[in-house]
Every structure is written in structure tokens, then in C-alpha cells.
Structure 1
Amino acid sequence: MSVSHAEDILPSRIKDIPGLSSRLSQLKEQESQQQNNNVGGPTDGGMDAWMTIAGCFMVQFCTVGYSNAFGVYQDIYTRDFLSNKSPSDISWIGSFQYFMQYAPGVLVGYAFDAGYFRHMIIMGSFLEVFSMFMLSLVRKEQYYQVFLAQAVGIGLGQGLLFIPSLTIISQHFKKRRSFAIGIAVTGASVGGIIWPILLNQLDQKTTLANANRAAGGLAGVLLLCAIILMKPKPVASRPLTSPQLGVKSVLGDVPFMISIGAASLVSLGLFFPYFFLQLYAVDRGIPPHLAFYTLAILNAGGIAGRLVPNFFADRLGPYNMIIPCLSFTAVLLLVGLVVRSFAGLVVFSLAYGFTSGSYISLIPSIIGQLSRKSGQPGLRMGFAFTNVGFWMLIGTPIEGALLHPPHSHDSLVWYPCIIFSAVAVALGASCMLVSRIFFVREGRNGEQGQLI
């Protein structure tokens, strides 16, 4: 029998005994707190938790994994389908798709905290699949049609899927959160392997339209499975802070804001190979039937990159893993300047996939750690990704403009854009180190000297 029920059936005279009423109130509050902990607390395992990870894996496969295959579209559009547009114009399609995936972050995060997880997942799944089929109907050299279907439609659908699928993991995992996120975001790497092969093979054997229809069908099946598998935990009801107050608290969090600045700088340069590696391989004289696999190899390296650093991040701390990974990423971008052979591209792709994949999977853990005890994990995750999304929007178009400057005629100039990308990532790594220093100085690494 619960304390509340016992209190209801006690005679009024007994409840008037001095001290009994206050004691019953204390027991009632303890019982309520225990129920809230049992209902809403992370379990770090169990059927629902691992089913949710499986669903998140599928969402990551269909969102980030599909976006990571944009290099295929960049190559096809540049050489054929949108040959009337420059590489910079075409890269706006992919960058705006990424931007729409991140830009609604504040609103999506607030909706997550308000309990609208499943509504967003269903709406986002429908919008992404519908837009994929619309992309299969666009006509050659009609830039605005491609932009609306791919950049706006698919991007917005992914925006309703991406952030909620990462944030829900914190409802199920705490001690093993980094590793759980690593497993989930491995779906992006697996998708980054399968999507380029699927799109390239179907484009060669049939048409680009059929390739997009097949992509829409596959995404529809996987997202339907994800909707069924993901289980949001019922959490204790609490008054929801207004978005204005939530954003105000974020702006006053110095380590958090520095980490967002670091992530924004990284986003300017990190995705250059994901957009241009296949085109780079073809331009360097690599046979097309081999160049088509460079993106798949790049994302294959990301599988280990999303698992191994996250496994150690739960033991060594996410900051201690993400800073060296970003430093190696900047060095690898410079190494790309001297790569000329297919064998060299394979080694570069695997290494870059590992280091860049580790950053992509570790940044949610950083945000989660910086958001601890804030009471609004969705809003903070969304705020971070909204800011990062803007820099992702302009990063690859800048690199596309550097790749094809006005005086170059039809030739591609790779040195300026590669150096720009490397410098941006290196600056991001430096700022992440500064964020860690402030985090430790404020004593937020735990009373027991928790590793960060």
C-alpha cells in the first residue's frame, strides 16, 4: 500500500496526532521521488534501451549516413546533371541540406523536452522519404527543383529526426552514454558506405532517378522500423522553462559557449572530403570505377572512429579524446595535398574517416556533459546544433569557391580549399582545449575528480 493511499484512509483524529502529518508528508515526497527515479532515470541497459539504440542506428543511417554520400551527387551534378552550375553552386545543395538538419535545433530540442519526441520522428520520416521520391522527379539542369527537394525537403525531414534520436539516448544511458552514442552513430558510417555504392551503381546501370527512388524505398522501410523500436522513457513531470530563459542560461555558460565556437570552426573544414573526395579522385586521374568507392572507404573508417574513441571516452573523458582526434584530423587534411594514387587515397580515407568520425560521435557526449543538471538536455543539444548548422552552411560553398576561382577557367585548384579546411579544424581543436580548461576551473568535472 502506498503512503498516499494510507494517508487517505487514516481517520482524521489519528492524522491530528502531533508530528504525524509532517512525517506522512515526508514519506509521500520520498515515495514520489523514488517513483520518478524508477520511471525516468537511465538504466544503462535493458530491452527498451537497446531497442532504442537499434532505432537510433537506423535514423543515423538515413540522416547523417545519407548526407555523407553527397559527394556522389557533387560528382554527378558537376560532371553531368547540373553541369550548367559551378562546384560552389552545387555544394550549396549539400551544405543547405546539412544546415536544415541542424538549424531547427532549438525548436526541436524544446519540443523534445516538452514530450513531442514521437511526433517529430513520424513527421520527419514522412518528410524525408517524400522528398527523396520528389528528387527522383526533378529534371536535368533545373537547379531550383533539386534545391527544393534535396536541400530543403530532405534536410528539414532530417532535422526532425537527427537531434531527437541523439538526445533520447541520455534517457536510457548515463555511465555508458558515450559508448551507447558511439554505437548509435555508427549507423551514419554504415550508411556512408552503403549509400554511395547504391547510388553510384544504380546511376551507372539505370538512371539517377531510379537510384533516388531506391534510396527513398530503403529509407522508408528503415525509418518505419526505427519508429517502432525507439522507446522514449516517461519522465517525471516538471515545469518547463521558457525558451528565452533556457537560452539565457546557455549564453552564460562559458565552457559551453566556447565548445560551440570550437564546433563551429571545425564545421567549416571537417566535411570537405565528404563533399569533394570523389571529385578529387577523378580529377587526379583515378579510374572512375575505383574513385566511386572512395566515399564508402571514408565512411568505413568512421565505423571504428565512432566506436573506439567513445569506448575510451567513458573511461578517459570525452574532452581527453576529442582534442587529439581533432588535431590528427587537421594534420590529415594537409596530408591530402600530396595524395595522388588510389592506394594513397584508401589509406587517407580510412584514417580521415576514423578521426572525423570520432569527432562527430564525441560531440554529443561533450554537450551532454556540459548540459548535466541543466534540466533541458534537448534545448541545449538543439542550441548547439543550430549554431553549428550555420557554419556548416557556409563551409563547403567557401571551399567550392576556392576550388574553382574565376581565373582558373575550367581547372580545379585544390590547395587553397584544403589548407582552409585544415586551418579551420586546427583552430577548433585549440578552442576545445580552452573549453576544457574553463570546465575544470569551474569545478564541473565532479566532486571525485571525474575524468573529462
Structure 2
Amino acid sequence: MQDEFRIELTADEKLNVLEELERRPSADSPTPCSESDPPDGGHVAWTTAFGSFLIQFCGYGYLNSFGVYQDFYTRIYLTNHSPSTISWVGALSSFLIASGTLISGRLYDRGWFYHLIIAGSALQSLSLFALSFAKPGQLYMGVLSGFAMGLTYGPSIAVISQHFSKRRTLVMSLVASGSPLGGIIHPIMLNHLFDGAADFARAVRISAGFISALLLIACLSMRTRALLTQTISYSAVVRKCSRDVPFILVTAGILLAQIGFFFPLYYLQLDSIKHGINVHFSFYSFVILNAASVIGRCTAGIIAPYTGLLNLTIVSTAACGVVIISMIALSNISSVVVIGIAYGYFSGVYIALWVPMVGMLTPDLSELGARVGIFFIFISFSALLGGPISGALLSSHYRWLIPLLFSGIIYFVGSLVLVVTRLIIYRQR
């Protein structure tokens, strides 16, 4: 009787059945999924986004407070060094963050997300505590801190693409708002703690303890999904990027704009003080700038679907150039407030769109980590150029006009490159 229902399979059919069984996950294994079907929400997705937000708060958010260090070093701690020389401290940190993304992006694609986040967080905490041992006259600000931030920055943004699809740009912009929010909290904390050279060590240790606690929460919050993706060699991604004209032009345009980006970030507080504005109010100039940047980064994800990522980036980049040149008129409290709000908002908008733009130009999201790394390794050179060039043009005589014109004009050049990119994409479509 059993023989009547026996089904004979050919060799090819048996092989197909075995392959199908091998592709099916076991009951106790994580369910694999592809980049094409992220859940676009859920508890794990939002806790991961919160952890990524904290990484931005403690990474670029802390670096956004370098203007406080620039002012403190120039007037109190490193009086025997020029503003241009001191700006190299922040420039090197910015360079290491961006260039470190080249390494972290590749390792992220290979599934090393947790290793990068944990190692980078521990290294950042250690380097900030080490900074507290610096003495007056020593040009030092934890070089390791910049590299540590580079290990965590790229992966903490790229992991959002595993959890969100339709709301990806919005969530990435919300996560990116952690950076200017950190630029609000950290300057207030540091300005109140930096009462004099004797308080430097205590201030930095308090700040380092605060950062360490938040990084621990971030490490416990973030999760990845089990993805069936093919790992592509870096050389293959580089070859593809070298033939991708829109990607090259977007990278070049943002690089040029970023050279002008750092002047208000480093010198707004010092500019206010040198123009006779109350010192205590000047301490809050970065708070105003970064508060507006939070709004800019949050609204970027809401506006972009209606205007287009590239169109919104072009407008915000050109607006930044206009605001920087208008700093020539800085003379009173009202002008500081207007400049801080305007520059903070528009710079926040265009920075929030970086990674979504790279994602838009990436046809295969398995290459996203590598492409983000390639993008940031070029952008990192703007940190080595922007602050020091502006400081050299400013000089110890504080000639504000020349660096303001330089920063504003190079912003316009960067926006023109993005306009060319927009025309090329329009023709391709």
C-alpha cells in the first residue's frame, strides 16, 4: 500500500529540495532578512536609533564644543601659541573622525558593528580622561579621541538602514541631531567648569565621566539585524565609485563647502568677545548656534521628501555662505543671535543629508558602509584645511574680513558643484 504513494524524485529534483531545506533557518536561529525588507520601526529599531543618537551626541557633539577649547586655549592655557596653531588641535580631531570612517565602514560591512562601537566608546572615554592630565603650554587634546569617534560615527549612522526604509532619511536626520544637541550641552558644561587654568583637569574629568556614562547606554541600546548580504571587496567598491560621476561630484562639493564650515564653529565665541560683547553672553553663542542646528537637522528629514535631497542640500549650502559673509556685520548681541540661529539652522540641514545622499547614490546597500567610508576620507581633509587656513588668515591681529570672505566664497563654490551634479542626474534620468 505504501508503494502506491511513493514518489520517485530525479537527481536534480532531490538536489533542489536539499538546497531549499538548507536555505530555511532553524527554529533556534535568528531569522535572516535582506536589506530590502527592514521593519521600518519597532522596539529594537527605535532603541537602536536612540543609541545612535547618543553616539552622535558624544562624538561630533563633543567636537562641536571645540570652540570653547579654542577660546580657553587662546586666552588662558596656550597663550604662547597662535590661534591658527591651536586650531590644528580641533582640525586633527575632525580629520581622524572622518578618516577613521574609512576603516569602520569596511569593518561594518563585514559584520564588526559591535566590536567597533564597544572599542571606539572605550577608547574615547580613555582618551578624554587622559586629556585631563595636560598641563598649561602643552598643545594637546587627545588625538586618540578623534580616532575613537571615527570608529563609532559611520557604523552608528549606517545601522539605521537595517531598521528603516521609508522613514530612513527622517530617522537619520533625527539621529544626526544628537551632534548639535551635544554642541549645546557640552559648551554650557565646559564654560561653567573652565573658571581658570587650575580647574582644567577637574572640568575635563567631569565631562569625560558624563560622556562615558552615555556611551555605555548607547552600547547597550543598539542592535543589528541578521542580514544575508554579500561582502564586496573595497577595491571593487572603489572602482565603482571612480566611475560614478554624481558620487564624485557630491563628494567634491561637500569637501569644498566643509572647508568653510569650521570658521563659525571655531571662532564665533572668540569673535564675539573680541568685538566687546559680554563674555558671559559670548559663552552661549555656540549654544544658540547648535540649538538652531538641532532644529535644522530634525526638519531636514521632513522637508527633503518634498524638495529632494540634493535640491535641499544646494539651498542650505549656499545659505551658509551668505550667513558667513554676513558675519562682517557682527557687532552686538542681536547680530550674534541672528548669525548663530541662521548658520546653525542651515548648516544643520545640509550636514543631516550627507549619509542619506550617499545612500541615495548607492545602488547596492551592502556597499553603504564602504561608500560612507570613501566619502568621509575625502571630507576629512576639509578639517585639516578649514580651521588652520581660517586661523592663518585671521592671524594674531584678528583681521576678520579676509577669513570670512574666504569661508563664504568657498561655500558658494561647493554649492555650484552640487548644482552641476543635479543637472547631470536630471539628464541621466
The verdict on a shared fold, with TM-score over 0.5 as the criterion, is yes
Contact 1:185 1:361 in 2 (8 A): yes
Matching of residue 80 in structure 1 with residue 76 in structure 2: yes
Mapping 1:368-407, distance limit 5 Å: 368-373=359-364, 375-404=366-395
Q: Percent identity of the aligned residues?
A: 35
SS of residue in 2 equivalent to 1:270: helix
1:158 equivalent among 125, 139, 149: 149
User: Which whole-Å CA distance do the structure 2 matches of 1:325 and 1:15 have between them?
Assistant: 68
Task: Note the alpha carbon deviations across 1:3-40, whole angstroms, 9 max, x for none.
Answer: xxxxxxxxxx73525985587479669968xx643687
The structure-2 alpha-carbon separation of the partners of 1:21 and 1:200, relative to structure 1 and needing over 3 Å to count, comes to same
Mapping 1:36-435, distance limit 5 Å: 36-37=32-33, 41-143=37-139, 146-147=140-141, 149=142, 152-204=143-195, 207-238=199-230, 240-373=231-364, 375-404=366-395, 410-435=396-421
User: Which whole-Å CA distance do the structure 2 matches of 1:26 and 1:119 have between them?
Assistant: 33
The structure-2 alpha-carbon separation of the partners of 1:236 and 1:394, relative to structure 1 and needing over 3 Å to count, comes to same
Task: Note the alpha carbon deviations across 1:381-424, whole angstroms, 9 max, x for none.
Answer: 010001100122111100000000xxxxx420001101111011
User: Which whole-Å CA distance do the structure 2 matches of 1:337 and 1:401 have between them?
Assistant: 18
The size of the alignment, in residue pairs, is 420
Contact 1:15 1:21 in 2 (8 A): no
CA shift, 1:44, in A, is 1.2
User: Which whole-Å CA distance do the structure 2 matches of 1:321 and 1:29 have between them?
Assistant: 47
CA shift, 1:246, in A, is 1.6
User: Which whole-Å CA distance do the structure 2 matches of 1:57 and 1:15 have between them?
Assistant: 58
The residue number in structure 2 matching 1:447 is none
CA shift, 1:105, in A, is 2.1
Task: Note the alpha carbon deviations across 1:149-168, whole angstroms, 9 max, x for none.
Answer: 2xx11101111111111111
Contact 1:179 1:314 in 2 (8 A): no
Q: Which moved more, 1:104-113 or 1:393-402?
A: 104-113
User: Which whole-Å CA distance do the structure 1 matches of 2:136 and 2:43 have between them?
Assistant: 48
Counterpart code for 1:309: A
CA shift, 1:374, in A, is 5.3
Counterpart code for 1:426: F
Task: Note the alpha carbon deviations across 1:343-363, whole angstroms, 9 max, x for none.
Answer: 110111011100001111111
The structure-2 alpha-carbon separation of the partners of 1:321 and 1:237, relative to structure 1 and needing over 3 Å to count, comes to closer
Q: TM-score, normalised by structure 2?
A: 0.93
Task: Note the alpha carbon deviations across 1:78-104, whole angstroms, 9 max, x for none.
Answer: 111011100000000001100000012
Matching of residue 16 in structure 1 with residue 17 in structure 2: no
CA shift, 1:182, in A, is 1.1
Structure 1 segments unaligned to the other structure (5+ residues) = 1-12, 405-409, 444-452
Contact 2:104 2:152 in 1 (8 A): no
User: Which whole-Å CA distance do the structure 2 matches of 1:18 and 1:97 have between them?
Assistant: 62
Counterpart code for 1:110: R
CA shift, 1:440, in A, is 3.0
User: Which whole-Å CA distance do the structure 1 matches of 2:150 and 2:179 have between them?
Assistant: 15
Contact 1:39 1:233 in 2 (8 A): no
User: Which whole-Å CA distance do the structure 2 matches of 1:363 and 1:228 have between them?
Assistant: 26
User: Which whole-Å CA distance do the structure 1 matches of 2:202 and 2:351 have between them?
Assistant: 31
User: Which whole-Å CA distance do the structure 2 matches of 1:430 and 1:362 have between them?
Assistant: 17
Counterpart code for 2:404: I
Contact 2:103 2:151 in 1 (8 A): no
User: Which whole-Å CA distance do the structure 2 matches of 1:209 and 1:156 have between them?
Assistant: 22
Counterpart code for 1:244: S
Q: TM-score, normalised by structure 1?
A: 0.88
User: Which whole-Å CA distance do the structure 1 matches of 2:56 and 2:212 have between them?
Assistant: 13
Task: Note the alpha carbon deviations across 1:266-293, whole angstroms, 9 max, x for none.
Answer: 1100121011000000011011111100
SS of residue in 2 equivalent to 1:241: coil
SS of residue in 2 equivalent to 1:214: helix
